[in-house]
């Protein structure tokens, strides 16, 4: 590959959600001159979230995109170099880590912080995408509060779907759970299945798939179809939660970094360190459990502190 340009940096941050921006804030304050590339979705998943009420410091709540602008402004004020661009290839063979941006520019970095996040899996319905943020959500913990004492629907059959259905059942009057297969085909663990089945206000629709989310400007219902009889019905709901999993944005690192079977980057317990010295991971790309803005920001702080120590030891050596 012919490189049009090569640049050497101390600390490269890949990704620009709460993890990436927080890492940039801490790294800039530590004077390790971070360069951050924002990736395919500057600001990360929060840019497709409307109201955020559970992030500390925003007493009246904040719009997701506005919060990410605040994060970016703070990182820039501290001196971080924020750039547009997508990491497309890496080579972590030697002590100098090589990352290609937009397939042409080569960055050689002493330390790399991976904060590329994860993307929610969707059903790929036109109505689902159109109403995303207007009652359609991929995070019950983030958005369930807005539908207190209302009827909602959730689609999914794994442990995460069950956990989110149970979470919603504590807030909402009724939770309509749409499961594509029968009871024997449900992927969730037995204990989670039992909890969902025993919840008085969770109604499960077995052998059912979502046809369409109903509503012009906000969610008003969901049309489902029996996978056995093709019979359709409309359920009146105020929100539609998609809980069919997330996919970590880690593909370009798979030949170098240790990951679990789902592609989440493995970090050494109690740190942000990966199996490659000088490469750190933060946020949803390495967290399949919590997936919250505040936990991502916390791990971004950890990654910057770990990178600062690594670079200090490197220079001392």
Give the list of residues 6+ apart from residue 113 with CB closer than 8 angstroms, or none. Answer: 11, 12, 13, 14, 20, 23, 27, 34, 272, 280, 281, 282, 300, 303, 304, 307
Q: How far apart are CA 257 and CA 52, in angstroms?
A: 32
Gyration radius (Cα) of the chain, Å? 21
**H or E segment and range at residue 266:** none
Question: Minimal CA–CA distance to 161: which of 145, 146, 175, 182?
Answer: 175
Active site residue 194: no
* Beta strands at 174-178 and 202-205: parallel, antiparallel or unpaired: parallel
Is 182 known to be catalytic?
Answer: no
First vs last Cα of the chain: how many Å apart?
Answer: 32
Owner of token pair 């927080």? 22
Catalytic residue among 70, 81, 91, 139: 139
- Selecting among 142, 162, 287, 306, the annotated active-site residue is 142
Q: Name residues whose C-beta falls within 8 Å of residue 270's C-beta, 6 or more positions apart in sequence.
A: none
Half-sphere exposure of 316 (CA within 13 A, CB side): 6
> 90: burial class by Cβ within 10 Å (0-12, 13-18, 19+)?
buried
Active site residue 301: no
Of 195, 200, 190, the C-alpha closest to 164 is: 195
Catalytic residue among 143, 284, 287, 306: 143
Q: Which two tokens stand for residue 204?
A: 């499960």
What are the residue numbers of the active site?
Answer: 139, 142-143
């Amino acid at each position: 590959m012919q490189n049009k340009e090569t640049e050497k940096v101390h600390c490269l941050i890949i990704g620009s959600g709460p993890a990436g921006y927080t890492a940039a804030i801490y790294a800039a304050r530590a004077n390790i001159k971070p360069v951050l590339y924002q990736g395919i979705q500057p600001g990360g998943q929060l840019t497709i979230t409307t109201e955020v009420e559970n992030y500390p410091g925003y007493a009246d709540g904040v719009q997701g995109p506005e919060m990410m602008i605040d994060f970016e402004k703070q990182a820039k004020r501290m001196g971080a170099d924020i750039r547009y661009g997508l990491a497309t290839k890496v080579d972590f063979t030697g002590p100098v880590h090589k990352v290609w941006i937009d397939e042409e520019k080569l960055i050689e970095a002493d330390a790399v912080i991976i904060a590329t996040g994860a993307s929610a899996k969707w059903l790929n319905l036109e109505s689902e995408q159109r109403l995303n943020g207007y009652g359609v959500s991929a995070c019950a913990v983030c958005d369930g509060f807005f539908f207190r004492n209302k009827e909602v629907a959730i689609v999914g059959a794994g442990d995460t779907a069950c956990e989110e259905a149970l979470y919603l059942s504590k807030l909402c009057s009724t939770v309509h759970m749409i499961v594509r297969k029968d009871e024997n085909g449900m992927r969730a663990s037995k204990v989670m299945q039992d909890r969902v089945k025993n919840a008085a206000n969770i109604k499960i629709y077995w052998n059912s798939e979502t046809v369409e989310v109903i509503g012009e400007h906000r969610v008003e219902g969901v049309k489902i179809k029996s996978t056995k009889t093709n019979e359709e019905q409309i359920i009146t709901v105020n929100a539609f939660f998609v809980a069919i999993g997330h996919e970590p944005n880690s593909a370009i690192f798979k030949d170098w970094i240790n990951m679990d079977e789902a592609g989440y980057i493995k970090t050494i317990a109690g740190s942000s360190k990966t199996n490659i010295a000088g490469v750190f991971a933060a946020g949803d790309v390495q967290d399949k459990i919590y997936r919250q803005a505040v936990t991502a920001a916390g791990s971004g702080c950890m990654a910057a502190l770990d990178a600062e120590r690594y670079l200090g030891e490197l220079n001392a050596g």
